Amino acid sequence: MKLDFALLECLEAVVTEGSFEKAAASLAITQSAVSQRIRVLEQQTGTPLLFRTRPVRPTPAAQPLLRFARQTQLLALDVWPELMESAEQGRVRIAVNADSLGSWVLPALSGWRQEHPAMLEFVVDDQEHTQSWLRNGEVIGSIGSAPAPSKSLRTVPLGVMSYRCVASPAFRARYLPQGLDRASVRQAPALVFNRRDALHAEHLRRCLGLKELQFPHHFIPAYEAFFSAALLGYGYGLLPEAQCAEALGRGDLVDLTPGVPVAVPLYWHTWPLESSLVVTLSAALVEGAARALAPIPQPVL
């Protein structure tokens, strides 16, 4: 049987955390996804692996799989310093959302780049999905919206990226003369970054109180092209405030939901291992984010 490490990681998390719910939180996935992975692993092994008690306990059949999963985690810790040493002279991969890459990340790393010979490679994904690249070992760090995607990762708050729901004046006059309401949202073309981008749908739910959303939309998976599409009247959508502020000031774009702010907190995630490469890169990102983003509000106690 070919072992899937994602399934083993899920089994280990459920046993360690004692519940499917807590395992989902530690892995930054849904509880149904945890249940599905455990079910697949049990189907592959042909035997129950967990006693569904409180807390959840492993069956005897799960013990060798748990041992293997934890040994694999230790091996990963051993190999990481060697990987970092190689990366110093090679290529550094970072998972980042497109809006951060297009606005503040490159200026933040400008000084760091001049001091390090490593080449950079940015893996662009939605801010809710970038951490999966890190957990899979495909990048050395990720910028995402989850405050603590996993207890095994080191998380540093970066700041809040603010968005405005905008459209060209001509688009608003044609499609939204009465504003954004439940009737118009089913007719007016929207701008969405890609199929994984849920920010627009979440904003409409907040504004209109709709649980099920059906709306026409264009996919524009590029930072500058998304902005151009809004200016040219292709549709309405959420743009970073830093990107569209001047166009709003000139009247080239209008804010469709000025009373409903959109604020996405961003965090920097890495494995908790000491490396001068990661430490200096992390410091550069944190410093650059402090200049470009608003602070993340502290929870009220």
| This prediction's pTM | 0.71
Provide the 10 A C-beta neighbour count for residue 126.
18
User: What pLDDT does residue 235 have?
Assistant: 97
Provide the 10 A C-beta neighbour count for residue 186.
12
- The span from the CA of 67 to the CA of 49, in Å, is 13
- The span from the CA of 69 to the CA of 10, in Å, is 10
Residue 211 has pLDDT above 80, yes or no: no
* 116, 278 contact by CB (below 8 A): no
Residue 153 has pLDDT above 90, yes or no: no
User: What pLDDT does residue 100 have?
Assistant: 95
User: What pLDDT does residue 176 have?
Assistant: 95
For the chain, domains (ranges, CATH) are: 5-77 (1.10.10.10), 90-160+264-292 (3.40.190.10), 162-262 (3.40.190.10)
Give the helix, strand, coil percentages of the chain, each rounded to 5. 50, 20, 35
- The span from the CA of 276 to the CA of 235, in Å, is 45
- The span from the CA of 87 to the CA of 118, in Å, is 7
Report which of 77, 79, 68, 21 is spatially closest to residue 41, judged by C-alpha positions: 68
Cα dihedral: 80, 81, 87, 92 (round 10):
50
Characterise 209 by phi-psi region: left (phi > 0), alpha (psi -120 to 50), beta (else).
Answer: left
Which range in 66-75, 225-234, 262-271 is most confidently predicted, on average pLDDT? 225-234
Amino acid at 118: A
